[in-house]
Structure 1
Amino acid sequence: MKNIILFADPGIDDSIAIMYALLNPDIRVLAIVSSYGNTSKEQATDNIAYLLKLAGREDIPIIGGTNSPSSGEIPTYYPEIHGQEGLGPIRPPESISGELTNFSELYKIIKDQDNITIVDVGRNTSLAALHLLGENIVEEIKEFYIMGGAFLVPGNVTPSAEANFYGDPIASQVVVRDLNNLYVVPLNVSNKAIITMDQIRYIQQMSDNPLIEIMDEVMEYYIDAYKKLVPGINGAPLHDVVTLSLMANPEMGKSIRREINILTTGTGMGTSIADFRPSSKPAEKNINIFLELDYPMFVEDFINVMGKADGKP
């Protein structure tokens, strides 16, 4: 059983990742940290609260994360990919209003629980704040999994930068510089984690869980957006879900141990760099970059977790 704190900014792929985490019997969600990113923090919070209500898991605290990047700039949102409210065509009912728990509650959760994994599938601002504001707190975390970066492959917001690292490269550089037992899931593998509408409909035939019932509307919107970005694609990559799936099933991917640096200014801002030359040495810290993915294993895991979910508990 993995005890996780999930940092997210839902967003469609973040929302599906939250569903996956809630439905996976091998994952225990201790808290979800809501931050800006694909949408504003306020909207992300309402989206998380909506998903928790559908799942019957309103006992899970929603922690208030950051509102904007470390630079103080106004965040850029992506409604063309995630919709105005972050869930494609779905708008959480007006009666849903997420109640935020103070950020300081994270330190209490970490102190009270053993063997915690932090999974960050959004901008890294809140995770960097956790580290910088809490003396040695990250040393009490067993491992970190983050979705971010692109190594020797094109970016998805600039020719070389991935959205999470580009959204706050200052925070991301703090994370890759200071944290240990870090596992990075970049576009190299997350772009391959494509799920199709046929697979979504198959899952819906298997489960009557309220979370699963909304997946078709959400994924249709997401896939249509990706078809405009990547002509010929037959589905959409679930960047954030595969990060959780690799955390739960590390044998599903292959990684290499290397130091990471992120450019924080200039035309290459957000670009992630590692030395993959044959003569390069492993990182001194346990920093791992996933570069290969067993795609059939990912699809099998996703269908098993989502399709075997029964109705609301």
Structure 2
Amino acid sequence: MKNIILFADPGIDDSLAIIYALLNPKIKILAIVSSYGNVTKEQATDNIAYLLKLAGRTDIPIIGGTNIPSSGETPRHYPEIHGEEGLGPIRPPEDVKGELTNFSDLYNIIRENQDITVVDVGRNTSLASLFQLGENVSGIIKEFFLMGGAFMVPGNVTPSAEANFYGDPIASQLVLTNLDNIFVVPLNVTNRAIITMEHIKMIQEMTDNPVIQIMDEVMEYYIEAYKKLIPGMSGAPLHDVLTLFLMVNPDMGRTIRREINILTSNDGRGTSIADFRVSSKPSEKNINIFLDFNYQGFIEDFIKVMSSSENS
């Protein structure tokens, strides 16, 4: 079983990743760090609390992450993709308000557990803060999985940049420079992790779990948003779910070990660069970029996990 600390900014895709992690018997969530990103930190926190309540897992602490990127600028949110409040048409009940645990408690969680994997599927500001404010977590945490970057494909925010690395490229570069045992799951891979409404309906027919019963409304909104971006698309990619899938099933993906640099300003902001030439050498540190994955294995796993009757 993987002991994970999940950094998230839900957001539809992050929300489905949280559900996947809650239901996956191979994953134990030690804490969820709530930060700005797809929505404000306050809204992200309420969304996390709502999902945990539906899943009957209010025992999982919600850690208060960062409100703004390292630059201090006002963050850009994406209501056209995720809805005004991050869950498409769904609004968490007024009485569901997330109670945040102090960020410093993360260090206690890290010290009290072993073989921890950090999974960051949002902006990397909070993860960078974890490194900057405390001891050398890279020597304590087993591995880091990041959803971010775009290699050899267009970005989804600018012609070259993916949203997470674009949101705080300074933090992303700090993380990639100072931490080790990093696995990056980029847009060129996650774009192919497409889930359709047929998959969702199949899952809902197999379980009456309350946290699953909201998935049709959420995914319908998400898929319609993607159809506007990519006409004719039959579903929508679950970038963050794929990151968790590859964390649990690394043999279902193919990686290459390369150094990553991220441009931090001007038109190139958020652009991720790695040298994929045949003559290039592996990075000195253990930084791995996923290049491919087993799509059929992903679909089968997603249906199996999401239709399970019990929370992990």
TM-score by length of 2: 0.99
CA distance in 2, matches of 1:31, 1:178: 23
1:131 match: 131
CA distance in 1, matches of 2:149, 2:28: 26
1:211 match: 211
CA distance in 2, matches of 1:308, 1:49: 21
The superposition leaves residues 110-132 of structure 1 with CA deviations (integer Å, 9 ceiling, x where unpaired) of 00100000000000000000011
The aligned runs of 1:23-34 (5 Å cut-off) are 23-34=23-34
CA distance in 2, matches of 1:224, 1:10: 18
Shift of 1:134: 0.9
CA distance in 2, matches of 1:97, 1:138: 32
**Secondary structure of 1:98 counterpart:** coil
1:263 match: 263
**Secondary structure of 2:180 counterpart:** coil
1:228 match: 228
2:52 match: 52
The superposition leaves residues 7-50 of structure 1 with CA deviations (integer Å, 9 ceiling, x where unpaired) of 00000000000000000001000000000000000000000000
CA distance in 2, matches of 1:11, 1:252: 26
2:243 match: 243
1:168 aligns with 2:168: yes
CA distance in 2, matches of 1:150, 1:45: 27
1:155 aligns with 2:160: no
1:201 match: 201
CA distance in 2, matches of 1:158, 1:231: 19
**Secondary structure of 2:234 counterpart:** coil
CA distance in 1, matches of 2:284, 2:188: 23
CA distance in 1, matches of 2:174, 2:136: 14
1:64 match: 64
1:12 match: 12
Unaligned runs of 5+ in 2: none
Shift of 1:159: 0.4
CA distance in 1, matches of 2:133, 2:279: 37
**Secondary structure of 2:251 counterpart:** helix
The superposition leaves residues 232-255 of structure 1 with CA deviations (integer Å, 9 ceiling, x where unpaired) of 110000000000000000011100
CA distance in 2, matches of 1:43, 1:67: 11
The superposition leaves residues 207-228 of structure 1 with CA deviations (integer Å, 9 ceiling, x where unpaired) of 1111110000000000000000
1:79 aligns with 2:79: yes
Give the aligned CA root-mean-square deviation in angstroms. Answer: 0.9
The superposition leaves residues 156-214 of structure 1 with CA deviations (integer Å, 9 ceiling, x where unpaired) of 00000000000000000001111100000001110000000000000000111111100
The superposition leaves residues 93-144 of structure 1 with CA deviations (integer Å, 9 ceiling, x where unpaired) of 0000000000000000000100000000000000000011112123100000
The superposition leaves residues 245-302 of structure 1 with CA deviations (integer Å, 9 ceiling, x where unpaired) of 0000001110000000000011010000000000000000100000111110100110
CA distance in 2, matches of 1:164, 1:137: 21
1:290 match: 290
Amino acid at match of 2:51: L
> How many aligned residue pairs are there?
312
1:118 match: 118
TM-score by length of 1: 0.99
2:92 match: 92
- Identity value in percent: 74
CA distance in 2, matches of 1:300, 1:166: 32
CA distance in 2, matches of 1:207, 1:134: 42
CA distance in 2, matches of 1:139, 1:46: 32
1:186 match: 186
Unaligned runs of 5+ in 1: none
CA distance in 2, matches of 1:233, 1:257: 32
Amino acid at match of 1:209: N
CA distance in 1, matches of 2:279, 2:139: 31
Amino acid at match of 1:232: G
**Secondary structure of 2:268 counterpart:** coil
